Structure 1
């Protein structure tokens, strides 16, 4: 399901992802259709686009529905997600999200671009109803009408006194779509089949206590590098370390890792090896280490301390970094000597040569870290049995 590439003028500005109503969807979804048409109208006015948006209700009866959906996901400029409680329990909405993100990251991996997913609040929601990894997306821009934040789109559509606020909200959303599409400049590209992708919300249900993933960065700052080490891949602090820096990759490795984990539905805690651990102290962890770090006296000592309670290790060996490539054998031995336990863990990757390889390696390391965490973390059962008996269902006639 790669999706056919469309001519530039035929590409939809946005793809509308929404959860179908379980109660009389043919009636309830007409409100979603009205919002979609209103948003298309305003985007059409603002951009002159021939095809402002895509919604699955546009697919003609008898058409190859998966192919049409793939075409839209492969060609849309941005992805508008209608947030509602059913959205995060819909497997299909999560798959649409995941398929679009894979295309987005394939074209922007490592580039500092704004997110191409725009949340729109369909119903009023408490933050506890939203998966934790998406909490950073929950803010409503201050220029939007206050009624939108209080009632959501459905509420201000249904309540007549908010009619003007609804019109203003749609107009402002159209402006956001237009501006974000220009900022992202996302070209058309292949998307995976929805049957092969996994919803990022499957293991991040609203209100769940899924453990966050700790990402520890072990690298030097520019001022701490030896005189003969190329400074191109480093920054003022270890957080600015960009081991895969190049024309097609400008994002520091910590930010890139956060992006990959967010795509998978994970919340992440990013820290550096020289910082005190952040809470929670027992989160499953992955160490992302510079191959040159073990040669630094203080950093090498810290790596050996970390390895006493080992975590999974990823070591970027950029194939375009001449110095690292020429010294790869010795650097690898230094790392293994400093991290003998972590490097031996299943899921660790001691020679990650490109951003694409890092994108593949990180989920494997995280999955193994989570498995190990769940096997070793302590579970505290209740100390005393409940004082009340469990309620039981009774026959209505009894």
Structure 2
């Protein structure tokens, strides 16, 4: 009875050319994961885990799916387009909630959470939370590339991620009961439905707030050429690029979101309450708006609660003479109003709060932070559903 089942998308032999070892990094990861499990006090040998190798009988795979306590899928674009992986998912998640294995996904190659199929939308690859180089690389490139570079460079970062994943597997296994000896997965595997062919969900919503003064709200002496009658008319990177609100709408749609531009006051009540939020929220700030004491107080209130589904970007255009002249003052305002985001955020998140100099850099960080806010939002929703005791908790990942 294996503790975990490793589910991955096989590379067809005819596409792998002469290399029968094309999936070798999958098998290397499997062996490393088993080794780290044993080192952490977990089971050894066949009791540690199962991975389907070429020639494995289908009955053996089906039995391992029925017996495992943790299902470990390797997330990649190929994984979610492989019918066999979709049937693995169906087999692992079929039956009463108290007999299903926990799900501990691995980010094998980068995959945007907004593109996850409905069956997997709440089962997101977690991050260690250490904020070190290994975590940053894992989030950016996935474990496959880390293992590949580790072989070439003798780098141990992939090993640190694998050891952390082993601890998650052990923790997750402890949160679910051992499967009954008679647990049955309807077979054969080829007769099961592909969980990933369900109709795609509607594009997820991304709330966006542009916090900028209007022409009438500008601080005394501020040039009004980049502003308009409404906050959404703000053009920080110059008239040629148009309003920033239009740019963020387009960026959000390109990421697979439905953008919802809202005023700053609308979601603030949600931050103070206990209700589950409707969507992740990205706040885009003109530091000149913080010259208004009332706005600054509201922003400090927003920063003090720092909900996991929120992200902040501010704009300090390098081609704006007034902004350059007042950069020290505006930077101090940002530090005063966002101390918690600057203290607790990762390096990239901190840079986004400190001010982005041009439209290209802004687009890069907006995309990055919108995706990460979405992932944190889904994890938060998942944790709330689990705490509610509706059965979702049976699939909660480990938390070391």
Higher share in helix:
2
Q: How high is the TM-score relative to the length of structure 1?
A: 0.44
Task: Flag the structure with more relative contact order, 1 or 2, with Cα contacts below 8 A and sequence separation at least 6.
Answer: 2
